[in-house]
């Protein structure tokens, strides 16, 4: 087992601060000893007191300041305490950060990393539990990244800060913070053979059939990854169905390179996300996968997502709204019965 995710992120910040004195951080309650609501910024303000800014509660202000810093050559990191509050920074992201480089004909860049905690299952209620990725994946000229337990999380965040000249929205799942990251052993994560793509925000493909055989491709990211892996193992144990779990590290711009070989193996694809269904990340990816792999598909790409509803506080009600491994397995079973082309099972 690897380090806890929160420690990996914390290390990445320390490494980035050490690597370049242009890196700085702004957010709410980020000073020691509190070190941020989820402790990701712990130790930074002690070590780099003049490069960490604990701000008043104003996400629009924080992000606006960071955009200005980035334009003037710094590499700021913004911490949005709860991803839900990204809505307050939306104007700065959509109308400013994403557009400035194109509007000024490449004479400026806006290399900022906006980190935000997404996801529910902690009983935080409707305005502290959402997964709002879908509102960001359609914004041109930004990168939307999402680490998971199978990603090299430390490298992802450090490289986002130091190497990516685009505005990057870096979406961390709340449940992931306390989890230990999985580390591959001999190219495997337990039962799954694994391949990790190149790039700043790699796609990790996990294959129960050793990349030789697959009955199903589950595409997912972030907090849904443990549920997808569990569903895949249950489908194997119960029905000897072999799944690939394709774990996206970059939600936008969409890159199908690592997805298509799996879909061509399996002929059946399911997209799982924690955000609400309608207009979701899965809608965009499903459309692209169908356009690119129509001939290989046995059935339409299926989607598993949260109900189009608020996330309730009560845990039992929250569990009804949010998708889990049982929803993925049920959708997979439906999908495996669909389709009438003459592929062998």
Partner 1 sequence: MKPIVIPQEDVNSEAARIVSLRAARGDAVKAGDAILTVETSKAVFDVPAPGSGLFLPLFEAGAVVPFNVPVAYVAESPAELEALARQARPAAAEGGGGGAGQARVTRKARQLALQYGVPLEELKVSGIIKEKDVQDFLLASGRLAPGEDQVLTDAGQVPRGLERVLLVGAGLGAMQVMDILLNAPHQAIAGLVDDDESLRGTWVLGFPVLGTSRDLPRLWREAKAFDAAVVTISTSVPVRRALFERCRELGIPMANAVDPTVRRNRLSRLGQGNVICSFVHIGTCAVLGDNNFISAHSSIEHHNLWGSHITTGPGVMTSSRVRVGDGVKMGTGIFIQPGLSVGKGCQIASGAVLIRSVPDGHAVKTRITTELVKLEEQGTKQGAR
Rule CB under 8 A: which residues touch partner 1? Answer: 1, 37-39, 122-124, 178, 190-191, 233, 236-240, 342-345
Say how far apart CA 320 and CA 316 lie, in whole Å.
7
192 backbone dihedrals φ, ψ, rounded to 5°: -95, 125
Cis peptide before 134 (omega within 30 of 0): no
Cβ 263 to partner 1 shortest distance, Å: 19
Give the separation between CA 109 and CA 99, rounded to whole angstroms.
10
Token readout for 62 is 């924080």
Q: Which is nearer to partner 1, 121 or 141 (CB)?
A: 121
Query: In terms of CB distance, is 33 or 56 closer to partner 1?
Result: 33
Question: Considering the complex, what minimum distance in angstroms separates the CB of residue 240 from partner 1?
Answer: 5
Which residue number, 35 or 261, has a Cβ lying nearer to partner 1? Answer: 35
Q: Looking at beta carbons only, is 72 or 188 nearer to partner 1?
A: 188
Least Å distance, CB 342 to partner 1, is 7
Q: Return the SS3 of 317.
A: helix
Smallest separation (angstroms) from partner 1 to the CB of 237: 5
> Residue 318 CB, nearest distance to partner 1 (Å)?
12
Q: Which is nearer to partner 1, 36 or 76 (CB)?
A: 36
Long-range contacts of 181-185 (CB under 8 A, 24+ apart): 181/1, 181/2, 181/3, 181/4, 181/5, 181/8, 181/149, 181/150, 181/151, 181/153, 182/1, 182/2, 182/149, 182/150, 183/1, 183/2, 184/150
Burial of 274 by CB count in 10 Å (0-12 exposed, 13-18 middle, 19+ buried)? buried
């Amino acid at each position: 087992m690897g380090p806890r995710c929160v420690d990996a992120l914390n290390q990445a910040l320390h490494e980035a601060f050490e690597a370049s004195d242009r890196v700085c951080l702004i957010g709410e309650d980020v000073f020691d000893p509190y070190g941020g609501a989820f402790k990701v910024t712990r130790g930074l303000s002690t070590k780099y007191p003049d490069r960490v800014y604990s701000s008043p509660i104003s996400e629009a202000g924080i992000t606006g300041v960071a955009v200005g810093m980035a334009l003037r050559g710094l590499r700021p990191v913004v911490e949005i305490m709860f991803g839900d509050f990204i809505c307050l920074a939306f104007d700065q992201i959509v109308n400013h950060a994403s557009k400035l480089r194109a509007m000024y004909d490449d004479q400026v860049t806006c290399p900022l990393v906006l980190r935000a905690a997404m996801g529910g299952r902690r009983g935080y209620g409707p305005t502290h539990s959402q997964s709002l990725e879908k509102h960001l994946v359609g914004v041109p000229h930004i990168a939307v990244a999402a680490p998971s337990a199978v990603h090299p999380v430390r490298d992802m965040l450090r490289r986002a800060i130091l190497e990516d000249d685009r505005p990057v929205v870096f979406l961390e799942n709340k449940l992931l913070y306390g989890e230990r990251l999985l580390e591959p052993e001999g190219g495997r994560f337990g039962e799954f053979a694994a391949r990790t793509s190149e790039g700043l925000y790699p796609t990790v493909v996990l294959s129960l059939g050793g990349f030789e055989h697959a009955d199903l491709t589950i595409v997912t990211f972030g907090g849904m990854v443990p549920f997808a892996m569990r569903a895949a193992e249950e489908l194997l144990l119960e029905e000897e169905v072999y799944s690939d779990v394709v774990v996206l590290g970059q939600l936008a711009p969409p890159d199908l390179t690592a997805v298509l070989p799996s879909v061509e193996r399996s002929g059946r694809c399911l997209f799982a996300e924690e955000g609400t269904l309608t207009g979701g990340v899965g809608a965009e990816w499903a459309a692209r996968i169908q356009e690119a792999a129509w001939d290989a598909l046995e059935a339409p790409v299926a989607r598993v997502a949260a109900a189009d509803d608020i996330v309730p506080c009560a845990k039992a009600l929250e569990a009804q709204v949010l998708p889990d491994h049982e929803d993925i397995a049920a959708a997979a079973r439906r999908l495996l019965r669909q389709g009438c082309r003459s592929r062998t099972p």
